[in-house]
């Protein structure tokens, strides 16, 4: 007998919750904000908007479904099952945070604050959930995978960063499909998907006035950019951007201690040291975002 579906509601602590936890009491949190020209009422309104959205979402889940709740900071310890339907209630970045821990489970993005969040990955209102749970329409967003030569792997929805832990000069040898290996010194390498091409990668693309055609979220293509490559007698700057199509990969061989993290989550990293390699390519896993 098969198990009924499980609705997993994913959210993150509000700014109000984090501030009260940091300062001990609501009164102390209000005093702290007042000293910086802010009002606790603003945080109250945002906190209430999320609570209202969570309540609406919870009420829309069928009674015969199982349910669970996961907070953003606990995602790396949460056990997702193949029958789960993930409901992300929050900012667009929350979908990216949860995507790396999934393996094809559908994700529904709920936007509790349309006036603040763009809604690229959380396009739906809380009241739409009942219909969305019956929807079979999904968009398969490309993801990026980083794999080290000792078997470690990391997935990301937006982009992978490879570089020095503090974003200082990273030294490595870069091998791309369209060029000979090149020793470089830079502030790191970004390898992003079409979803990530609206964020950090787009910033790099725009700043250098790149002529690359950035991929769309569902294209099986990655874009990559070397940040602030430094020319010297020992390091080059000939290969600093490009596109990757499966099964091609970008290979970085460390010549200093480097870290690899995805979607800005620096608390969840891979580490490589001198002589180790990390390969970055289109992931076999995709994010299934409910339309």
DSSP 255: S
For residue 89, what pLDDT is reported?
Answer: 98
For residue 30, what pLDDT is reported?
Answer: 85
Hey, what are 223's tokens?
A: 């874009």
| Cα torsion through 233, 178, 201, 149, rounded to 10 | -80
Bin 281: left if φ > 0, else alpha if -120 < ψ < 50, else beta.
beta
pLDDT in tens, 51-67: 999 999 999 999 999 99
pLDDT confidence tier of residue 1, bands split at 50, 70 and 90: low
| pTM of the full structure | 0.89
pLDDT in tens, 33-53: 888 888 888 899 999 999 999
Q: Is the pLDDT of residue 2 over 90?
A: no
Q: Find, among 170, 143, 169, the residue nearest to 154 by Cα.
A: 143
* Residue 114 CB neighbours (<10 A): 13
Cα 287 from chain centroid? 11
Average pLDDT (122-144) is 96
CA–CA distance, 91 with 96 (Å, rounded to integer): 10
- Residue 206's H or E segment, with its range, is helix 200-207
Q: What is the location of CATH 2.60.200.30 in the chain?
A: 143-284
DSSP 126: G
For residue 147, what pLDDT is reported?
Answer: 97
For residue 144, what pLDDT is reported?
Answer: 97
Q: What is the location of CATH 3.40.50 in the chain?
A: 6-135
Residue 35, Cβ density class (10 Å: 0-12 exposed, 13-18 middle, ≥19 buried): exposed
**Dihedral sign (CA 72, 215, 225, 173):** positive
CA–CA distance, 5 with 194 (Å, rounded to integer): 30
- 6-135: which CATH topology? Rossmann fold (3.40.50)
Q: Are 110 and 291 in contact (CB under 8 A)?
A: no
* Residues contacting 171, CB < 8 A, separation 6+: 183, 184, 185, 235, 254, 255, 256
CA angle 60, 6, 102 (to 5 degrees): 115
Q: Find, among 111, 145, 135, the residue nearest to 286 by Cα.
A: 145
pLDDT confidence tier of residue 179, bands split at 50, 70 and 90: confident
Average pLDDT (255-263) is 94
Q: What percent of the chain has pLDDT over 90?
A: 84
Place of tokens 């503090």: 166
- Residue 167's H or E segment, with its range, is none
Q: Find, among 228, 156, 144, 157, the residue nearest to 188 by Cα.
A: 228
- Please tell me the class of the 143-284 domain: mainly beta
């Amino acid at each position: 007998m098969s198990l009924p579906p499980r609705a997993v509601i994913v959210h993150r602590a509000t700014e109000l919750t984090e501030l009260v936890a940091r300062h001990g009491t609501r009164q102390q949190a209000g005093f702290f904000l007042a000293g910086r020209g802010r009002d606790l009422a603003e945080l109250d309104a945002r906190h209430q908007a999320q609570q209202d959205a969570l309540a609406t979402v919870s009420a829309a889940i069928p009674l015969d479904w199982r349910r669970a709740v996961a907070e953003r900071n606990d995602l790396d310890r949460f056990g997702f099952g193949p029958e789960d339907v993930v409901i992300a209630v929050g900012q667009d970045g929350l979908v990216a945070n949860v995507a790396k821990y999934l393996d094809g489970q559908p994700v529904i993005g709920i936007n509790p604050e349309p006036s603040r969040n763009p809604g690229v990955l959380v396009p739906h209102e809380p009241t739409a959930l009942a219909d969305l749970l019956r929807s079979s329409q999904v968009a398969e967003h490309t993801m990026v995978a980083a794999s080290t030569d000792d078997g470690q792997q990391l997935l990301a929805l937006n982009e992978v960063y490879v570089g020095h832990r503090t974003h200082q000069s990273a030294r490595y040898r870069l091998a791309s499909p369209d060029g000979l290996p090149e020793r470089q010194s830079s502030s790191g390498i970004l390898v992003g998907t079409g979803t990530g091409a609206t964020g950090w990668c787009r910033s790099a693309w725009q700043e250098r006035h790149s002529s690359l055609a950035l991929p769309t979220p569902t294209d099986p293509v990655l874009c990559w950019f070397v940040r602030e490559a430094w020319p010297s007698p020992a390091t080059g700057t000939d290969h600093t951007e490009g596109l990757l199509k499966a099964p091609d990969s970008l290979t970085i061989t460390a010549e200093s201690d480097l870290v690899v993290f995805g979607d800005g989550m620096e608390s969840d990293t891979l580490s490589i040291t001198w002589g180790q390699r990390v390969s970055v390519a289109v992931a076999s896993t995709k994010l299934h975002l409910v339309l």
